[in-house]
Amino acid sequence: MILDKIDQLIIEIGNLSAKNAEEIESLRLKYLGKKGEITNLMADFRNVAPEDKKTVGIKINELKQLAIQKINELKDNADTGNDTLNDIDLTRSAYPIQLGARHPLTITRNKIIDIFQRMGFSIAEGPEIDDDLHVFTKLNFAADHPARDMQDTFFIETNKEDVTKNIILRSHTSNDQSRVMEHQQPPIRVICPGRVYRNEAISARAHCFFHQIEGLYIDKNVSFTDLKQVLLTFAKELFGNDTRIRLRPSYFPFTEPSAEMDISCHICGGKGCGFCKHTGWVEILGCGMVDPNVLEACNIDSKVYSGYAFGLGVERITNLKYQVADLRMFSENDVRFLNEFESAN
Ligand SMILES: [Zn+2]
């Protein structure tokens, strides 16, 4: 019996391994400590029959020597293993650390923000996950507006009793604007850059997420002329001093009147080419005067204050500036594509 136990321990100890000093110490206690396996065997020794005592005694002694030797061996290995200085190769030459490039969307976003900041706009940011109240209701979206449909918008949580409590991925950064108006009385002059989400099939021309920058200006006596002049300045700053703009009537729930803005094609200068589909114009943003219903919903007196708002897609502007054919390239993280923008900023 006791000889079987000794043989078993010999195999066990022969296979011991440990990662660090703590583990080695716990192994030492397990086998050689005061209540350890080998000490217990020595206690059992007195029950061994007299004629077997000699054999068993020698075996126990061998086992003890083996355990001491194994523990010392583990300690030696751990000492060299911990010596990380041995891993540093001081003869290796220094290698150049390659600098990355800014993402094209970041380049465009920074340029746009810079232009508006110089005109006195400050940045306002808000949550990408927001409630219906801030994304749609306060912005004068009709209860049956298609944007409120699951076909168009990603829902996180629906509330059967009160749709304004639905939690959604915002489909535009206008929720930042309703949050600013909620907490700040005019004058308000902000731009809201951020990521937005729409339930679209992903293709070269559409994606389920993209980036927007919206602007909002509310004060006394703000007119459509102010809007037009700010956007003209923006277009000239971004696309060059020769750029002309035109406004076409349009419709948005949160502005009245509303317009789409085109710029003269920066490729052909307005003469007409393949890029502008031979019209000489390229659409770049939507804009309009803030609907009084929006101001009232956000506790701003629409009889005292008026304002304008505009919104543009960062991907769209980046495409116009750099002619990126496929929208998906912006989110594929292909370094060959990204490296092309190294000199752009
Ligand atoms: Zn053109």
DSSP string, 132-195: HHHHTGGGT--TT-GGGSTTTS-EEE--SS-GGG-EEE-SSTHHHHHHHHHH-PSPEEEEEEEE
Residue 141: closest CA among 122, 160, 168: 168
Percent of the chain with pLDDT over 90: 45
Average per-residue pLDDT in the chain? Answer: 88
Do the strands 245-252 and 209-219 form a parallel or antiparallel pair, or are they unpaired?
unpaired
H or E, element range at 209:
strand 209-219
pLDDT of residue 22: 87
H-only helix segments in the chain:
2-14, 21-32, 37-44, 53-82, 104-118, 132-135, 174-183, 224-239, 292-297, 314-322, 335-339
pLDDT of residue 83: 52
> Residue 105 in contact with residue 211, Cβ under 8 Å?
yes
Instruction: Please state the pTM of the whole predicted model.
Output: 0.69
Rounded CA separation 176/256 (Å): 20
> Residue 305 in contact with residue 218, Cβ under 8 Å?
yes
Rounded CA separation 40/31 (Å): 9
| CA 281 – ligand 1 centroid, Å | 7
Residue 81, pLDDT > 60, answer no
110 token code pair: 């920074």
pLDDT of residue 80: 64
Percent of the chain with pLDDT over 70: 97
| CA 314 – ligand 1 centroid, Å | 20
Residue 94, pLDDT > 60, answer yes
| CA 134 – ligand 1 centroid, Å | 39
Rounded CA separation 13/210 (Å): 62
pLDDT tens string 278-324:
999 999 999 999 999 999 999 999 999 999 999 999 998 998 888 88
251 token code pair: 């419709």
H or E, element range at 261:
strand 255-264
| CA 226 – ligand 1 centroid, Å | 28
256 is in an annotated binding site: yes
Q: Across-strand partners of 102?
A: none
Residue 182: closest CA among 191, 194, 174: 174
| CA 239 – ligand 1 centroid, Å | 13
Task: Look at phi and psi of residue 269 and say left if phi exceeds 0, alpha if psi is from -120 to 50, else beta.
Answer: left
| CA 273 – ligand 1 centroid, Å | 4
> Residue 338 in contact with residue 101, Cβ under 8 Å?
yes
pLDDT of residue 152: 83
pLDDT tens string 246-280:
999 999 999 999 999 999 988 888 898 888 889 99
Q: Would you give the DSSP letter of residue 333?
A: -
CB 54: neighbour CB atoms within 10 A?
A: 10
Residue 331: closest CA among 240, 202, 232, 237: 202
